[in-house]
Amino acid sequence: MSTVDSEATAGRGSARAVAVASSIARFLVIAITTYLGLLAVTFFIGRVIPIDPVLAVLGDRAPANVVERTRREMGLDLPLIEQFYIYVKNALNGNFGTSVLTTNPVMTDIRRAFPATIELATLGTLIGALLGVPLGVLAAVRRGSIIDQIVRIIGLVGYSVPIFWLGLLALVLFYARLQWVAFPGRLDIVYEYTFTPITGFYLLDALWQRQWDVFRDAFRHIILPASLLGYFSLAYISRMTRSFMLNELAQEYIVAARAKGLSETRIIWGHALRNAAVPMVTVIALSYAGLLEGSVLTETVFSWPGIGLYITNSLQNADMNAVLGGTIIIGSVFIGINLLSDLLYRVLDPRTKVR
Partner 1 sequence: MMMEKLALRSRVLLAGAAMSALLLAGAPALAVTPADTLVEGFAIDDIISMDPGEAFELSTAEVTGNTYDLLVRLDLSDTSKVKGDLAESWSVSDDGLTYTFKLKPGLKFASGNPITAADVAYSFERAIKLDKSPAFIIGQFGINGDNVTEKAKAVDDTTFQFTVDKAYAPSFVLNCLSATVASVVDAKLVKEHVAAVTPSADYKYDNDFGNAWLKTGYAGSGAFKLREWRANEVVVMERNDNYHGEKAKLARVIYRNMKESSGQRLALEAGDIDVARNLEPNDLDAIAKNADLTTTSAPKGTVYYISLNQKNPNLAKPEVRQAFKYLVDYDALSSTILKGIGEIHQTFLPKGVLGELDENPFTFDVAKAKELLAKAGLADGFSVTMDVRNIQPVTGMAESFQQTLGQAGVKLEIIPGDGKQTLTKYRARNHDIYIGQWGQDYFDPNSNAQTFASNPDNSDEGKVKTLAWRNAWDIPDLTKQTEAALLEKDPAKRAAMYQDLQRKVLETSPFIIIHQQLEVAGLRKNLRGFALGPSFDTNFVSQISKE
Within residues 105-164, the interface with partner 1 by CB under 8 A covers: 109, 127, 131, 153-154, 157-158, 161
Q: In whole angstroms, how close is the CB of 288 to partner 1 at the nearest point?
A: 18
Contact 35, 334 (CB under 8 A): no
230 interacts with partner 1 by CB under 8 A: yes
- Is the Cβ of residue 127 or residue 324 nearer to partner 1 in the bound state? 127
Q: Give the dihedral sign, CA 212/216/218/223.
A: positive
Residues in CB range of 135: below 8 A, 6 or more apart? 151, 154, 234, 238, 241
Q: How far is the CB of 312 from partner 1 (least distance, A)?
A: 10
Burial class (CB in 10 A: 0-12, 13-18, 19+), 228: buried
Taking the complex as a whole, the smallest distance from the CB of residue 305 to partner 1 amounts, in Å, to 5
Phi, psi of 104 (to 5 degrees): -90, 155
Residue partners of 4: CB distance under 8 A and separation at least 6: 12, 15, 16, 19, 354
Residues between 80 and 99 with contacts to partner 1, criterion CB under 8 A: 99
Near partner 1 in 239-258, by CB under 8 A? none
Point out which span in 18-26, 32-40, 54-62, 82-90 binds partner 1 (CB under 8 A). Answer: 54-62
Residues 262-291 as x/- pattern, contact with partner 1 by CB under 8 A: ------------------------------
Confirm if 123 and 226 have CB atoms less than 8 A apart: yes
Q: Return the closest-CA partner of residue 237 out of 175, 158, 335.
A: 158
Indicate if the alpha-carbon torsion angle 291, 294, 300, 303 is positive or negative: positive
The one segment of 75-83, 217-225, 249-257, 271-279 that binds partner 1 by CB under 8 A: 217-225
Which of these segments, 4-12, 167-175, 257-265, 278-286, binds partner 1 (CB under 8 A)?
167-175
Instruction: Out of 74, 137, 206, 228, point to the residue binding partner 1 (CB under 8 A).
Output: 228
Kindly tell me which residue out of 110, 133, 163, 234 binds partner 1, with binding defined by CB under 8 A: 234
| Closest CB 285 distance from partner 1, rounded Å | 22
- Within a 10 A sphere around the Cβ of 306, how many other Cβ atoms? 28
Give dist(CA 120, CA 162) in Å, integer: 19
Contacts of 69 by beta carbon, 8 Å cutoff, 6+ apart: none
Q: Which of 39, 110, 138, 224 is the binder for partner 1 (CB under 8 A)?
A: 224
Closer residue to partner 1 (CB): 295 or 313:
313
Rounded (5°) CA angle 36-37-43: 90
Residues 2-31 that bind partner 1 (CB under 8 A): none
DSSP lists the bridge partners of residue 98 as: 105
Closest distance of CB 95 from partner 1, Å: 17
- Residue (248 or 319) nearer to partner 1, CB: 319
Structure letter (DSSP) for residue 105? B
Between CA 133 and CA 287 the distance in angstroms is 13
Q: Which of 152, 220, 346, 353 binds partner 1 (CB under 8 A)?
A: 220
45 contributes a contact to partner 1 by CB under 8 A: no
Contacts with partner 1 by CB under 8 A: the residue count is 74
